[in-house]
């Protein structure tokens, strides 16, 4: 199979006759596909460079790095002897430590050398200076000398050889282009800056083909099975380096995973866990019986529960994003819970966590009202490289790396700054996010839940807030108005229709709490109060039906605030006056507490209690 050279290498070969120095930055620590004596192979950058320039008559490379000093590549007698003679090297065990001043002299001699074609690679060049904006006098003098050499060098035809004139170049290897003084590359027309990008789809496909024979079962597989493996390996490693593909192959061998488990091998590399809760048979059984479990905790929201279960079933079957080429990398599920406050949106997210992962500690919550300012993105996602705190990572990326199998809740998403929302485009589409440290968090095994109160209130033409939907409206009307309001918000107010498009049809609209559901919620809260009273004071709570009905009327009179409103009213009408009454009652030896009446005077509620 013919594999074309990487773009950066083609540019280097093309520019050799007219550029004396090259700055290579970006993905420099990756492996690269290169033709070698035995055929195509994955090799380090140095070997890839050597195989390329060797075909143009280069006889050796000199490689310098601040840790080990100077060495000759390839480490062969002929190359080593020629380099030692031409540059008067004093190698010890193949290495020679030299100062920056000696390195600049070596650059000058190399640029003028006529007897041999050769190149100097300055590796780990990002570590040559403490900081390129605060250079010492020696460091500044070194870079000025390097700039001067780049301008004074000229392309040469080596003696006794045939070929076109080319430079003996200096090649700088950097993590980031800005790690060198900016004036060094900007002020010299002889310095070319080339960025090495992450491998594209075709390159990863070629690398997968080279690594495929190392997987158990590949040699005996059918052509169709091989093709399916190559496609899965390539698509599953989108955004990864070729070194990562090699590591996945090694991981599969150590975990005894064959070619048919390539998805598990890729996931294990991404999230660091071989055990996949999504593949467990018991999860499907739990989802089949989940409707009753969810409705016990989230009452009166059957349409929302049914829609959520549909999305959850799709996630469990691995069909999320199945229509897209790179859909396997997307989050397992995306849910946008919209509706009035206090109707169970957050509770449903917790219930999903308990259902899928069996532990609410796998639930990660981010209150997006804390990220209303643009600068808070550094806290959530990590500061950009070079800024204070960039090496700490972001709260979101760190949390997902620690708990790759989780439900991630973004509460009240409309309160976040629009620039922060832009980051969700990458998460929803590619299933990953890279922080300021360069570490990538993978969201492919998470369920993302957004909650919002959009559509409940709108603004009129004068900017006054008014209610768009209200208790008592039919659910179909509530759903339609809320969906329209969400669409208008993303399309016209934020001008980000692409974010809404990635959420797609995963918007789940919750209804207002109805009267019969409010009674169920009230009774459940009343049972919680009775249980707590028994746990803390060993008292059994009792009240006549008339007192219970009075409490119910007071707590469910206004349902606009949903279940939280019922809880707040119950705290005011029962828990607070009950606490006062308990302080004034002798409870010694008492086993039962009866609330015999409710009184209100000057807006202060009190209870009549009898302890027996």
Would you state the pLDDT for residue 389? 63
Helix axes 7-15, 45-54, angle to 10 degrees: 40
- Look at residue 39 and tell me whether its pLDDT is greater than 80: yes
Closest CA to 399 of 350, 361, 431, 425: 361
Question: Are β-strands 440-442 and 432-434 bridged in parallel, bridged antiparallel, or unpaired?
Answer: antiparallel
pTM for this predicted structure: 0.73
DSSP state of 510: P
Q: What is the pLDDT of residue 224?
A: 95
Of the listed ranges 81-85, 183-187, 473-477, 509-513, the one predicted with least confidence: 183-187
pLDDT tier at 144, thresholds 50, 70, 90:
very high
Per-residue model confidence (pLDDT) at position 321 = 60
Q: Decide: 299 and 521 in contact? Cβ < 8 Å.
A: yes
Residue 71 is encoded by which pair of tokens?
A: 């060495």
Q: Is the Cβ–Cβ distance between 366 and 471 less than 8 Å?
A: no
Task: Please compute the mean of the pLDDT values over residues 488-511 and round it to a whole number.
Answer: 88
Share of the chain above pLDDT 70, in %: 94
Asked if residues 371 and 379 have their Cβ atoms less than 8 Å apart, the reply is yes
Q: DSSP code of 435?
A: -
| pLDDT at residue number 91 | 93
Q: What is the mean pLDDT of residues 185-202?
A: 90
Q: What integer pLDDT is reported at residue 163 of this predicted model?
A: 64
Which residues are CB-contacts of 85 (< 8 A; sequence separation ≥ 6)? none
**Averaged pLDDT for residues 332-336:** 89
- Whether the bond between 550 and the residue before it is cis, its omega within 30 degrees of 0, is no
The least confident of 177-186, 270-279, 373-382, 464-473 is 270-279
pLDDT range class, residue 552, cuts 50, 70, 90: very high
pLDDT in tens, 72-97: 999 999 999 999 999 999 999 999 99
147 within 8 A of 104, measured Cβ to Cβ:
no
Amino acid 444: pLDDT: 86
pLDDT score recorded for residue 132? 56
Phi-psi region of 63 (alpha: psi -120 to 50; beta: other; left: phi over 0): beta
Name beta bridge partners: 606.
599
pLDDT at 362 over 80: no
pLDDT digits (tens, 9 = 90+) for 285-330: 888 888 888 888 888 888 888 888 888 888 777 766 655 555 567 8
Residue 283: the pLDDT is 81
- Is the pLDDT score of 226 beyond 80? yes
């Amino acid at each position: 199979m013919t594999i074309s050279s990487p773009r950066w290498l083609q540019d280097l070969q093309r520019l050799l006759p007219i550029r004396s120095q090259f700055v290579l930055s970006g993905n420099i620590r990756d492996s690269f596909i290169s033709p070698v004596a035995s055929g195509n192979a994955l090799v380090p950058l140095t070997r890839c460079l050597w195989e390329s320039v060797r075909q143009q008559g280069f006889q050796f490379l000199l490689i310098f790095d601040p840790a080990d000093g100077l060495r000759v590549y390839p480490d062969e007698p002929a190359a080593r002897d020629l380099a030692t003679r031409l540059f008067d090297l004093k190698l010890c065990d193949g290495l020679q430590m030299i100062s920056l001043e000696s390195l600049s002299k070596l650059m000058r001699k190399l640029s003028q050398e006529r007897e041999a074609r050769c190149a100097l690679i300055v590796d780990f060049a990002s570590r040559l200076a403490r900081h390129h904006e605060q250079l010492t006098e020696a460091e500044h003098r070194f870079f000025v000398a390097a700039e001067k050499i780049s301008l004074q060098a000229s392309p040469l035809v080596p003696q006794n050889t045939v070929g076109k004139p080319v430079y003996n170049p200096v090649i700088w290897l950097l993590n980031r282009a800005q790690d060198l003084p900016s004036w060094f590359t900007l002020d010299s027309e002889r310095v070319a800056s080339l960025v090495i990008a992450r491998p594209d789809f075709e390159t990863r496909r070629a690398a997968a083909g080279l690594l495929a024979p190392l997987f158990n079962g590949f040699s005996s597989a059918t052509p169709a099975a091989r093709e399916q493996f190559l496609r899965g390996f390539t698509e599953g490693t989108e955004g990864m380096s070729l070194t990562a593909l090699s590591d996945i192959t090694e991981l599969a061998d150590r975990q005894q995973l064959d070619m048919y488990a390539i998805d598990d091998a890729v996931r294990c590399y991404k999230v660091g866990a071989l055990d996949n809760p999504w593949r467990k048979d018991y999860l499907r059984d739990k989802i089949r019986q989940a409707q009753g479990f969810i409705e016990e905790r989230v009452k009166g929201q059957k349409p929302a529960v049914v829609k959520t279960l549909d999305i959850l079933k799709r996630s469990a079957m691995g069909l999320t994003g199945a229509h897209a080429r790179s859909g396997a990398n997307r989050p397992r599920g995306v849910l946008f819970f919209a509706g009035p406050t206090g109707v169970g949106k957050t509770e449903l997210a917790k219930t999903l966590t308990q259902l899928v992962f069996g532990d609410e500690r796998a639930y990660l919550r981010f209150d997006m009202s804390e990220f209303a300012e643009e600068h808070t993105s550094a806290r959530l996602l990590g500061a950009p490289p070079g800024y204070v705190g960039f090496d700490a990572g972001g709260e979101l990326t760190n949390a997902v790396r620690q708990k790759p199998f989780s439900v991630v809740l973004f509460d009240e998403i409309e309160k976040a700054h629009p620039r922060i929302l832009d980051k969700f485009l990458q998460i929803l589409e590619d299933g990953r996010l890279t922080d300021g440290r360069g570490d990538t968090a993978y969201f492919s095994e998470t369920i993302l839940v957004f909650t919002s109160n959009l559509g409940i209130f709108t603004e009129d033409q004068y900017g006054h807030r008014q209610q768009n939907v209200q208790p008592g409206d039919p659910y179909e009307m509530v759903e339609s108005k809320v969906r329209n309001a969400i669409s208008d918000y993303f399309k016209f107010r934020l001008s980000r229709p692409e974010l809404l498009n990635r959420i797609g049809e995963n918007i789940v609209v919750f209804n207002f709490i109805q009267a019969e559901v409010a009674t169920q919620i009230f009774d459940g809260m009343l049972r919680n109060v009775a249980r707590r009273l028994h746990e803390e004071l060993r008292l059994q709570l009792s009240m006549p039906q008339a007192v219970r009905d009075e409490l119910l009327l007071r707590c469910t009179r206004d349902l606009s605030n949903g279940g939280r409103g019922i809880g707040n009213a119950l705290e005011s009408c029962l828990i607070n006056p009950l606490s006062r009454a308990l302080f004034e009652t002798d409870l010694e030896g008492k086993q039962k507490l009866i609330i015999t009446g409710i009184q209100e005077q000057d807006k202060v509620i009190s209870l009549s209690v009898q302890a027996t």
